[in-house]
Amino acid sequence: MNVCDLRLRCVFTRITSQLKLHLDQIRFMIDVHFDATSVQYLVSLTNQSRMMDEIFFSSHLNNNIQYSQ
């Protein structure tokens, strides 16, 4: 497991915690964009083959995570 994996796992744990869900109940579709100052993700959450939500967030170099729906 590399740093990117750890960061994504941390982010997913925060998201699922906010949504009162567990990682094993969700499938993530991830679109990741890297640039010089941040990593941006578009995460599609599905539960039991049904689209639940899409969450867009960016993780900046200072590790602040910003969410928008």
- Residue 42 β-bridge partners: 31, 56
pLDDT digits over 22-43, tens only? 555 566 566 666 666 666 656 5
What is the per-residue pLDDT for 6? 58
Q: Is the pLDDT assigned to residue 13 strictly greater than 60?
A: yes
62 vs 38: CA distance, rounded Å: 9
Q: Is the pLDDT assigned to residue 10 strictly greater than 60?
A: yes
Q: Is the pLDDT assigned to residue 14 strictly greater than 60?
A: yes
Grade residue 16 by pLDDT with cuts at 50, 70 and 90.
low
Yes or no: say if 57 and 65 are a contact pair by the CB < 8 Å rule.
yes
